[in-house]
Chains A and B, each alone.
Chain A
């Protein structure tokens, strides 16, 4: 019985850890940064940013709009710049499009996101 439990736990945990660090579509710049090992400078704790990003965004939007704090870490632009991917023609795909960074998780958990009905969903025009 104990042995079975141990086997079950190992299988369960490995499957969790194997999945934990993966993202179907991380985006071009973000993938580069991850390969260079710099992703931890931006997101020191993956779990934190995954769970808390709606709160961060909510908090930072007020800081930017109401208090005029415009650093990279307070900017949705910076999120989009790193996490959007290009198609075959080297053009950026909308980040909220199906299969792209935002929607892969958001579709899975069935929550809609409303950022990009107003915000630009691709990096800057002249990039």
Chain B
């Protein structure tokens, strides 16, 4: 009995010592290993969460943008995202992710045509009002609807000063693989987030041949959009609301 107890005691002591030893080694290895995995993690492109080092934006030059260009943009958007052929929606039920808007200066009668879509605000009112946190802004400035959480209350549609959002009124089938859409949820321009994440440009930007629409990182001083914004006069629509939009216009 005594023997047995001492052996247990011994074992206990040993295991405690062992425990401390192993813990120390594991902790050491873990510290080094996390460093290694962290660096490799950052290096592996396309697998990391987006960060606020970038802010995606667009500059639309209404002097260069023709009406045909705008139609091309709308068509490209419809084709890319698969909206616009809702059979049972009528009138203002119809989806409109990007719209052709004509503005006329009353004093001079000057008419300019705009392509108006979600302006991807820095301070988005749609995100402020959303009761379920479905309306959200990604770290890189793209404003999206998380339709997993959207309850279809349409509060965001009322809050948006640009009328950029639409509501799906009917059951849909045959959606685009990269763009799930469904009845009872709100949708809007995603700045072709699925393409941007792959390093491509949004469909509407690709649809315009001239440099009337420039897409890029607003924060990157070497990007074309950043340099052009430094050089030319540009404005935000409803700049008085201080929303700091990602989509800028020049020539209006």
Chain A residues whose CB sits within 8 angstroms of the CB of B197 once the complex forms: 68, 70
Given A68-B193, A68-B197, A118-B185, A125-B180 contact (CB < 8 Å): no
Q: How far is the CA of A68 from the CA of B57 in the complex (A)?
A: 17
Q: How far is the CA of A79 from the CA of B226 in the complex (A)?
A: 40
Q: Are A68 and B180 in contact (CB under 8 A)?
A: no
Given A71-B47, A118-B147, A118-B182, A66-B136 contact (CB < 8 Å): yes
Given A68-B140, A118-B185, A77-B177 contact (CB < 8 Å): yes
B175 nearest in chain A by CB position:
A120
B176 nearest in chain A by CB position:
A120
Query: Of residues 86 to 127 in A, which have CB atoms within 8 Å of B's CB atoms?
Result: 117-120, 123-125
B188 interface residue, CB < 8 Å from A?
no
Number of interface residues of B (CB under 8 A): 29
Main secondary structure of the interface of B (DSSP, over half): loop
Query: Of residues 150 to 189 in B, which have CB atoms within 8 Å of A's CB atoms?
Result: 171-172, 174-178, 180-183, 185
Chain A residues whose CB sits within 8 angstroms of the CB of B139 once the complex forms: 67
**B133-147 interface bits toward A, Cβ cutoff 8 Å, 1 = contact, 0 = none:** 000101110001011
Chain B residues whose CB sits within 8 angstroms of the CB of A118 once the complex forms: 147, 172, 175, 180-182, 185
The smallest C-beta distance from B124 to any residue of chain A, in angstroms, reads 15
B40 interface residue, CB < 8 Å from A?
no
B28 interface residue, CB < 8 Å from A?
no
**A17-45 interface bits toward B, Cβ cutoff 8 Å, 1 = contact, 0 = none:** 00000000000000000000000000000
A-B contact pairs, 13 of them (CB 8 A): A65-B146, A65-B148, A66-B136, A68-B49, A68-B140, A69-B49, A70-B46, A71-B47, A118-B147, A118-B182, A118-B185, A120-B176, A120-B177
